[in-house]
Amino acid sequence: MKHLLIIIVLMLAMIPVHTIAAEQKVELEITGMTCSLCTVAVKKSLSKIDGITDIKVSYKDEKAWFVADDSITDEVLIKAIKKAGGYKVQSIHRE
């Protein structure tokens, strides 16, 4: 019985912390958006990425805000914005 308990404790200790996805707030600075249709395109493209929620986009502010799984790389975000219509990510701020 005691051995079983030790085995369970050891197994729990072996689960890597990074497998538990952490969410972070992300702010993208995007250039190239000129109207509300651009914001729709950017929003649609971002929504296709698994692990992104609560997307808000403003072409006037040249920004997009959303909640993202921290495993989503900058490259994935830059590609999605480019794919939306050739827009360019100027900066990525995560918190």
Binding site for Cu ion (CB under 5 A): 34-35, 37-38
- φ, ψ for residue 26, nearest 5 deg: -125, 140
CB of 12 to Cu ion, least distance (A): 51
CB of 34 to Cu ion, least distance (A): 5
CB of 40 to Cu ion, least distance (A): 8
The pair of structure tokens assigned to 76 is 């994935």
- φ, ψ for residue 35, nearest 5 deg: -155, 180
CB of 37 to Cu ion, least distance (A): 4
Question: Are 12 and 78 a contacting pair, CB within 8 Å?
Answer: no
DSSP H helices in 1-95: 2-13, 36-47, 74-85
- Residue indicated by tokens 């050739």: 86
